[in-house]
Chains A and B, each alone.
Chain A
Amino acid sequence: GENVEQHPSTLSVQEGDSAVIKCTYSDSASNYFPWYKQELGKRPQLIIDIRSNVGEKKDQRIAVTLNKTAKHFSLHITETQPEDSAVYFCAANYGQNFVFGPGTRLSVLP
């Protein structure tokens, strides 16, 4: 089955700096990779996603890159703000299901 790894598990950055979270997956058949942001006690919210037919996607301060050959994808957040502090989960589709990474707790320090 699919296995998704995610690093780092925790990340602290100064406000205004960039943050990068990396994920790897094992199933070469996976072709859809969403990223979710989960604030404490709340539901995960989809923030960006990428399909296997593109290598990069950007939405304002958030971007995602995908390397299908190496089976890894990354989330990039630029000009971080305190409200970016949350747990971020990457995921890869596996059939009609999704397998989630273990999460990265991002802390943006003012």
Chain B
Amino acid sequence: GAVVSQHPSWVICKSGTSVKIECRSLDFQATTMFWYRQFPKQSLMLMATSNEGSKATYEQGVEKDKFLINHASLTLSTLTVTSAHPEDSSFYICSASRETGNGYTFGSGTRLTVV
């Protein structure tokens, strides 16, 4: 089945620093990947849609200059949280699908803690 790898699994950073999270599709090419944020005991909220070779599409309320997304290849999308603040602490998770319209596979998630 489709495998999506996400790194790091957890990271602690100081306020004001930037953190990069990687999402890789290991056994398939993903033209589109999705980035979600999940606060404790809440549902998955779509942040942005990452499109290979073009700009990401951000959901309303998500700051594109703060959450930089790069999808430079068909197997890798990165999310960079710039100038992180404690309120950015959350579980970030990516997903991708081998075929558009089918059940997406999630990465293992990244728990970000900003201190």
Contacts and interface: CB of A to CB of B under 8 A. Distances in A.
Interface of A: 32, 34, 36, 41-46, 49, 89, 93, 96-103
Nearest to A47: B103
Contacts of A89: 43-44
Q: Determine chain A's interface SS by DSSP, over half rule.
A: strand
Q: Determine chain B's interface SS by DSSP, over half rule.
A: loop
A76 B42 CA distance: 22
Contact of B101 (A41, A93, A100): A93
B46 A102 contact: no
B53 to A, nearest CB: 16
B43 A98 contact: no
Contact of B103 (A46, A96, A97, A101): A46
B101 A96 contact: yes
Interface residues of B, number: 20
Given A43-B93, A102-B43, A97 B34 contact: yes
B43 A101 contact: yes
18 contacts: A34-B103, A34-B104, A41-B111, A42-B109, A43-B106, A45-B106, A46-B104, A89-B44, A93-B101, A96-B32, A96-B49, A97-B49, A98-B104, A99-B46, A100-B43, A100-B45, A101-B43, A102-B42
Contact of A44 (B34, B49, B106): B106
